[in-house]
Structure 1
Amino acid sequence: MLKFFCGVLLTLGAVSGSFAQAASVLFLNPGSTREAFWVSYSQFMQAAARDLGMDLRIVYSNRQSDVVIEQARRALQGPDRPDYLVFVNEQYVAPQILRLAQGRGVKLFMVNSAFTADQTSLMDAQPDKFAELLGSLVPNDEEGGYLMLKELIRLKGPVPPGQVIELLAFSGLKITPSAQLREKGMMRALAEHPEVHLRQLVYSGWTRERAYEQARLLFKRYPHTSLVWSANDEMAFGAMQAYTETGGQPGKGVLFSAVNTSPQALQALLDGRLSALLGGHFSLGGWAMVQLHDDELGVDISQYGGRDQQIPLLQLIDHAQAKRLLVLNSTQNYGVDFRQLSAKGHPSSWRYPFSLQTLMH
């Protein structure tokens, strides 16, 4: 078996039929096994693979772009190439992966982060040097950042004329498209609310520890802060810890928000420590598996909504949904029959039913 460079390898084997060889999929997970989001992301993909009879392997790169590239190189140029390679455009690695894949006979699928305009221009200028994508699925990150701040402002309530609401924001990595889009959405909401003043936006690298260290300084610098916007749950928890150490109670003096439906985030919402929570995009990899399985069956997936699709998965999670998701986290298949989501046999007007509601029935 291939030994992937600096990665944690999870293997899920399945064979559909007595002699049929299962379609093989390798997912280059940009996170780590310590990140609840990326672990849940992998688990949902594995649930889909089990249902669909596909062979899924997952390697983690611990957010190191050079590791991702080496994992892709070994997978694409080694003797044990997968049928499909699924990856994320984290830290702008996508063009390098497409270059490595050129002529290798592996189908490529991108999740979570779309190409930037610069990347698209680069590849359009030299199309013969880059492999083509089979397709991509990305969430509504810009809308997510917008909805999250709008909900915080709504919960805070109106302020008297002449007064302001002070906001702190914790984003991920500057070179991650999803972080950039969530920030853009936050800025759109700010433009609609001049009474809200963004005191500082910091980059915490998606980590609790970094956000905690930054928040300790920021709460001292801006003692009148009343809203905290965070682009993921780990950074929100770091900021909440720092606020608690000042004697504050999250959800009371300061309202916190987060993205991701980790069990800890769902419980924090139910407890009132998190005031606004968005999630649903952990399911993207599982939905991608449905499309890869359809491609294996000979379905032209581009007929059902286009080759590259944005799905409005990021939505505000209410208490009933939080309770439901906590229950689903403990099930093997999340209550989803992935085979029933196939486009096979449907007219081209049909669309894949990929949404958080699919998990909420």
Structure 2
Amino acid sequence: MASLALSPGLVRGAAFRPMRAIFVNPGRSNEDFWVSVSAVMRAAAADLAIHLDIVYGERSVLYTQQVALERIAVAEPGDYLLVGNEQHSAGPILEAGLARALRCLIVFNGFVGDEVARYGGPRQKFPNFLGELLADNVAAGSEIARGLIAAAKRAGAPLHVVGINGNVETPAAADREIGLRQATAGIAGLTLGQVLTSDWTREEGRQRAAGLLDRYPETSIVWCANDPIALGALDVALQRGRRPGRDIFIGGLNWSSDAIAAIQSGHLELSLGGHFLLGGWALVLLRDYHEGLDFAEVPGGLSQSVPFGALDRSNIDSWVGRYDGSDWSAIRFQRFSHYLSGARGPYDFSLPAVLG
């Protein structure tokens, strides 16, 4: 368990009430994306005077539930619980949190199918199921595809598309593929070959890309559900003498440091991202709620969403010049708080707002 403890009080002139939160991180404790999520949340917690505990589930449903239930069972579990429905793991964790009178926010991945019938929407069956803050993964899948199609068209390349998704047991993966299929439907001259699944890693990206390029040697666009997969596909393309940015176009999602470097070099077209900041934005919502400003009363209501942003060669230098990927304290999370700013419109967690 990793933890960050602060003495709540005056922070940059803002008076905050004491507040404690738990985040159940479903990823591996050495996995770039989920480590970044935790780093962002620690920076947000420091800026917002929140005592934050983080437990890692190591991408195992059973272990995620085990460590979460152990943390929730302590004598004084805190005030808030943040948990995502990665691989449909959140239900028992939510139930345990509600049983301990924790106020719960679903983040990253929401409930689907029978889970919605069981738990209802925020504040429907359980008042302390406060809300959800999710990333629009359908839109993200579409935007990756549209960006790659536009790049191929600019180069005069044919539109022969294949895809490499992650684990479709994760709602985010399923939604991203829906977005891919929506964006490629009905485009004259475009062919969509297979969309394979993977375990989200660079190595499986290599394996899947090798198989796809063997099966579809005319491939010009490789849609990838995250950056490690995209980088694996890039490895294979380069090994086979393909010319990224000229006769093959590859993009992913996560804003990882390796992907950013590959965009700067001209090898990757784009990376969608910003959702690793979602945990920080969730703490902004909960800090406002804790101070008596309920996010249910602003546009978006109980089900808030965070847009992805595209980093490509048009804006990559602005991002790199502002954030180095290791010190997220450069983001002034207090600036986004409605409690502090007096704003009453929708929360704006977009890429332009972060760069502004």
TM-score by length of 2: 0.89
2:3 to 3, 11, 16: 11
Deviation by residue 1:112-165 (Cα, 9 ceiling, x = unmatched): 11221331112349x9986742121112211111111111111111899xx963
For residues 318 and 217 of structure 1, the distance between their equivalents in structure 2, rounded to whole angstroms, comes to 27
Deviation at 1:272, TM superposition (A): 0.8
1:335 to 330, 333, 343: 330
**Is the alpha carbon distance of 1:206 and 1:15 closer, same or farther for their aligned partners in structure 2, counting shifts above 3 Å?**
same
Sequence identity (%): 32
Q: Report which stretch shifted further, 323-332 or 208-217.
A: 323-332
For residues 335 and 267 of structure 2, the distance between their equivalents in structure 1, rounded to whole angstroms, comes to 38
Q: Are the aligned partners of 1:101 and 1:130 in contact in 2 as well (CA < 8 Å)?
A: no
Aligned twin of 1:360: 355
Q: Report which stretch shifted further, 290-299 or 9-18.
A: 9-18
Aligned twin of 2:305: 310
**Is the alpha carbon distance of 1:50 and 1:198 closer, same or farther for their aligned partners in structure 2, counting shifts above 3 Å?**
same
Q: Are the aligned partners of 1:301 and 1:307 in contact in 2 as well (CA < 8 Å)?
A: yes
Aligned twin of 2:287: 293
* 1:232 and 2:205 aligned: no
Q: Are the aligned partners of 2:38 and 2:54 in contact in 1 as well (CA < 8 Å)?
A: yes
For residues 287 and 94 of structure 2, the distance between their equivalents in structure 1, rounded to whole angstroms, comes to 21
Q: Report which stretch shifted further, 67-76 or 77-86.
A: 77-86
* 1:205 and 2:190 aligned: no
Deviation at 1:316, TM superposition (A): 2.0
Residues 1-361 of structure 1 mapped to structure 2, 5 A cutoff:
9-17=1-9, 22-124=18-120, 132-157=128-153, 165-305=159-299, 306-312=301-307, 314-319=308-313, 321-327=315-321, 328-329=323-324, 332-344=327-339, 349-361=344-356
Q: Are the aligned partners of 2:158 and 2:220 in contact in 1 as well (CA < 8 Å)?
A: no
Cα RMSD of the aligned pairs, angstroms, is 2.6
For residues 159 and 314 of structure 2, the distance between their equivalents in structure 1, rounded to whole angstroms, comes to 29
For residues 32 and 40 of structure 1, the distance between their equivalents in structure 2, rounded to whole angstroms, comes to 11
Q: Are the aligned partners of 1:14 and 1:22 in contact in 2 as well (CA < 8 Å)?
A: no
**Is the alpha carbon distance of 1:335 and 1:79 closer, same or farther for their aligned partners in structure 2, counting shifts above 3 Å?**
same
Deviation by residue 1:319-338 (Cα, 9 ceiling, x = unmatched): 35322332412563453322
Residue type at the aligned position of 2:319:
L
For residues 340 and 346 of structure 1, the distance between their equivalents in structure 2, rounded to whole angstroms, comes to 7
TM-score by length of 1: 0.88
Q: Report which stretch shifted further, 227-236 or 294-303.
A: 294-303
Residue type at the aligned position of 1:344:
Y
Unaligned runs of 5+ in 2: 11-15
Deviation by residue 1:161-190 (Cα, 9 ceiling, x = unmatched): xx9632110111111111111111110011
Q: Are the aligned partners of 2:83 and 2:106 in contact in 1 as well (CA < 8 Å)?
A: yes
For residues 137 and 329 of structure 1, the distance between their equivalents in structure 2, rounded to whole angstroms, comes to 25
**Is the alpha carbon distance of 1:347 and 1:128 closer, same or farther for their aligned partners in structure 2, counting shifts above 3 Å?**
closer
For residues 132 and 167 of structure 1, the distance between their equivalents in structure 2, rounded to whole angstroms, comes to 45
Residue type at the aligned position of 1:14:
L
Q: 2:196 is paired with a residue of what secondary structure?
A: strand
**Is the alpha carbon distance of 1:292 and 1:158 closer, same or farther for their aligned partners in structure 2, counting shifts above 3 Å?**
closer
Aligned twin of 2:13: none
Q: 2:338 is paired with a residue of what secondary structure?
A: coil
Deviation by residue 1:25-58 (Cα, 9 ceiling, x = unmatched): 2111111233222222211111111111111122
Q: 2:220 is paired with a residue of what secondary structure?
A: strand
Q: 1:277 is paired with a residue of what secondary structure?
A: strand
For residues 100 and 252 of structure 1, the distance between their equivalents in structure 2, rounded to whole angstroms, comes to 53
